[in-house]
Structure 1
Amino acid sequence: MKAAYIQNGAVHVGEMPDPTPGKGQALVRTHSCGMCASEAHFLHSGETIIGLSKVHGGPYAGLDYSRPFVPGHEYVGEVVDYGPGSKRTVKAGRKVTSVPIMRQSGAHAIVGFSHDCPGGFGEYMLLDEDMLMEVPGDLDDDLAAMTEPLAVGLEHARRGRPTKDDAALVIGCGAIGLGVIAGLKLMGIAPIIAVDYHEDRRNLGIAMGADIAIDPRQISPYEPIPDLGGRRANLVYECVGLPGLLQQIISGVPFDSRIVMGGYCMEPEQLLVFAAQNKRLNIQFAAGEEPQDMELALRSIADGKIDVRPWLGERIGLGAVGKAMGEMSGPLALVRTVVDPRLL
């Protein structure tokens, strides 16, 4: 099959072996796949990430950086066939997405970060049939591919156990933060405060349901906010992943606040525990989505309750993957570039 793959910190385009499904595995032809910052991290820090997984436990410990792997875990595709002895949960020819996890035929892998389970930057994938979710046939492929990144934000949003008495602050309006805002809005939480340095991202925060958007260079998001009648945020979602930001939040929030860590920081974080204890803070570390989050995300996109069209930027073929991945950071970066591996 044709694929864009990562090997030794570089993106290549070429032929990779067609995957062969085993029992419980579906062979899926990819239609669309979103490009996530986690793939870009592997270009620059792949060996570090793999090393951290080996020492501390994590899903990337099985990767060999010198061997090619096909990334892409935000996908929608068409079921082609199943391995022998499979239950065939979704009929061939139907569109599907899934939590990007493979647990069948003795495997335990993250789709797109595995040598055995190629991701959506290739023409074909292997997906766990127990994880398959059928996608409505009339739903646009690129919108359907946003199910997984939206589901991550929905998971983070519920991890904060928000109530209607909370004032929620979302720091960072990339895909994770935008998904958190959408999730909070869906739960009826208000007010929601979006924080980002960049005006375009703040505008996206408002589009996803935030009540106000703040440039932290102009006003502290932790102080009483005049536009909210002097209320202070007591539920904070960190969706950036920069070292030092968690301590800044601890220092800024009021007593009895809750903090949800959704941003992925690959560097050591230094905390003054006394400050968090003194304020009786609750810090919740959030991770990836679960099936319930995927189901809610797909349903919300399909019925129009959450409009992810503002996330969509350029649609590219395999030949443009390397350039697009190199341009993912910075204020002008698109929320999501979508790859169609059927195009070169």
Structure 2
Amino acid sequence: MKAAYLENGQIHVGEMPAPTPTKGQMLVRTHRCGLCASDAHFLCSGHEMVAKSQEFGGPYAAVDLGKRIVMGHEFVGEIVDYGPGSRRPLKVGAKVTSAPVMRQGGKTGIIGYVNELPGGFGEYMLLDEDLAMEVPADLPDDLAALIEPLAVGLEHARSGEPQPGEIPLVIGCGAIGLGVVAGLKLRGIGPIVAADFDAGRRAIAIQMGADVAVDPRELSPYDPIPDLGMKKPNLVYECVGKPGLLNQIVRGVGFGARIVMGGFCLEQEQLYVPLAQMKRLKINFACGEEQEDMELALRAIADGRIDVTPWLGARIGLSGVGEALDRMTDPASPVRTVVDPRTL
């Protein structure tokens, strides 16, 4: 199969062996795959991510960077076949997506971050038949590829246990932050405040359901908000992943606030605990999506309750993957670029 693969710290395009499904696995031909910031981080800091996963436990511990790896974990594709002895819950030819997790066939791990489990930057991939979900045939592939990143934001929104009448603040309007905004809006929570340095991302946050979007250089999002009758946010979602941001939030929020840490940061975070104690803060650490979040994301996109069209930028072939990953650090880049791995 053709694939964009990581080798020696660079993205190359070439031929790779197509995976063979075993019991409980389905072989899928990938139609689309979104580029995630996690892929860009792995491209730049793969050795550090693997080392820290091996030291502390984590999803990258089994990666062998001496071998080729096909990344890509935001995908939609078509079932081609099943491994022998599988239950075959969905028909061959059905369009499917899944959380990027494999539990079957003796090889477990995060799809796209295990050498033997190629991700969506290749023509073919393996999915766990117990986790795969059928996607409506009429849902465009570009939108279906956004189910997984939306599900992450929905999980983060849910993990904050938001209550009616609270004022949530979402810091960072990348895909995770925008998914949090959409998830809060879906739950009827608000008013919602979003904060981001980039005007374009703030505009998308408003489209996703935020009531107010602020530039932190002009207005501290922790202060009373004039457009909200001088009320202050009391539930903060950190969706950036930068060292020092947690301490900034602890200093900025008021008594009894809750903080959800969703940004993924490899660097050590310093926290002045006495201030958090005196303010009686509660800090929750959110992680990846669960099956209920994937199912909700699929339904909400399919029935139009959440419109992720503003996230979409370019559609590229395999030859554009390396350059697109390099551009992801630019806030002016699209929230999501999608790859069609069937094309070069």
TM more than 0.5: yes
SS across alignment from 2:204: helix
Taking the aligned partners of 2:227 and 2:143, their CA distance within structure 1 comes to 34
Q: Give the letter for the 2:205 counterpart.
A: G
Taking the aligned partners of 2:310 and 2:281, their CA distance within structure 1 comes to 34
> Which residue of structure 2 lines up, in the alignment, with residue 129 of structure 1?
129
Contact kept? 1:28, 1:80, Cα under 8 Å: yes
Taking the aligned partners of 2:231 and 2:184, their CA distance within structure 1 comes to 18
Taking the aligned partners of 1:207 and 1:226, their CA distance within structure 2 comes to 20
Q: Give the letter for the 1:187 counterpart.
A: R
Q: Give the letter for the 2:200 counterpart.
A: D
- Computed over aligned residues only, the root mean square deviation of the Cα atoms, in angstroms, reads 0.6
* 1:209-228 alignment, distance < 5 Å: 209-228=209-228
**1:108 aligned onto 2:98:** no
SS across alignment from 1:131: coil
Taking the aligned partners of 1:330 and 1:27, their CA distance within structure 2 comes to 35
1:85-144 per-position Cα deviation (integer Å, ceiling 9, x unaligned):
000011000000001000001221111111111000000000000001000000000100
> Which residue of structure 2 lines up, in the alignment, with residue 233 of structure 1?
233
* 1:1-344 alignment, distance < 5 Å: 1-344=1-344
1:173-218 per-position Cα deviation (integer Å, ceiling 9, x unaligned):
0000000000000000011001001110100000000001001111
Aligned residues: 344
Q: Give the letter for the 2:48 counterpart.
A: T
SS across alignment from 2:183: helix
Taking the aligned partners of 1:327 and 1:200, their CA distance within structure 2 comes to 16
Q: Give the letter for the 1:323 counterpart.
A: E
How far did 1:165 drift? 2.0
Contact kept? 1:9, 1:42, Cα under 8 Å: no
How far did 1:5 drift? 0.5
1:150-184 per-position Cα deviation (integer Å, ceiling 9, x unaligned):
00000000000000121000000000000000000
Taking the aligned partners of 1:151 and 1:274, their CA distance within structure 2 comes to 34
How far did 1:331 drift? 2.1
Q: Give the letter for the 2:289 counterpart.
A: E
SS across alignment from 1:126: strand
Gaps of 5+ in 1: none
How far did 1:303 drift? 0.3
TM-score by length of structure 2 reads 0.99
SS across alignment from 1:79: strand
Taking the aligned partners of 1:129 and 1:29, their CA distance within structure 2 comes to 14
Larger mean CA deviation between 234-243 and 224-233 belongs to 224-233
Contact kept? 1:101, 1:109, Cα under 8 Å: yes
1:244-301 per-position Cα deviation (integer Å, ceiling 9, x unaligned):
0000000010111000000001100000000111111000000000000000000000
Gaps of 5+ in 2: none
Contact kept? 1:259, 1:284, Cα under 8 Å: yes
SS across alignment from 2:130: helix
Taking the aligned partners of 1:294 and 1:146, their CA distance within structure 2 comes to 10
Taking the aligned partners of 2:129 and 2:245, their CA distance within structure 1 comes to 40
